[in-house]
Amino acid sequence: MKTSTQERKQYLEPAQGCVCFNLRKSARAITQLYEEALRPTGLRATQFSLLVATRLHGVATINRLAKSLVMDRTTLTRNLKPLENQGFLRTTPGSEDRREREVTLTIAGQDILSKALPLWKQVQQQVTKALGQTRVDRLLKDLSATIEVIEGS
């Protein structure tokens, strides 16, 4: 394939400047680091976040959890499966509205979360130290702004 400088140049921006690509790329990279840290627990990054979110909700439904995670409802359903299978989460039909499913942490779920928490703290501190607190705070704020922009679209 012959390629002129001109032809190639128009694809530098979609590579280096693409917000989507660079966010996905960074997410892949950081996920590696966090999953390595969480490996002693056997939890994946998403699974840790799901347990934390469930813990914070107390009693959560699929829709509410999905909304708070900015995750498709059907994705969440699938992601809950391995955690249910391992006995970390329990889902029961809604007591008032039987269409709903109530998701709660089990004792085993609380235990694994307690084990995971210090490992998370360690890797989070490692990242914070390497990037600097200022940059981490700025990054988190910019990420929040990005999500708000998208949800407003």
Where does this chain bind DNA (CB under 7 A)?
Answer: 24, 28, 31-32, 35, 44-47, 61-64, 71-75, 77-79, 82, 85, 91, 94, 97-101
C-beta closer to its own copies: residue 97 or 142: 142
Task: Give CA 99 to chain center in angstroms.
Answer: 26
In the complex, minimum distance from the CB of residue 133 to its own copies, in angstroms, rounded to a whole number: 11
The DSSP bridge partners found for residue 90 are 104
Count Cα neighbours of 129 within 13 Å in the Cβ-side half-sphere.
6
In the complex, minimum distance from the CB of residue 58 to DNA, in angstroms, rounded to a whole number: 14
Residue 62 contacts which entry, its own copies, DNA, none (Cβ below 5-8 A, type-dependent):
DNA
Angle between helices 107-131 and 45-57 (to 10 degrees): 120
Residue 53 contacts which entry, DNA, its own copies, none (Cβ below 5-8 A, type-dependent):
its own copies
| Start-to-end C-alpha separation, the chain | 39
| Two tokens, residue 51 | 């347990």
In the complex, minimum distance from the CB of residue 5 to DNA, in angstroms, rounded to a whole number: 26
Task: Give the span between the Cα atoms of 30 and 138, in whole angstroms.
Answer: 17
Residue 108 contacts which entry, its own copies, DNA, none (Cβ below 5-8 A, type-dependent):
none
Residue 33 contacts which entry, its own copies, DNA, none (Cβ below 5-8 A, type-dependent):
its own copies
| Two tokens, residue 85 | 């299978």
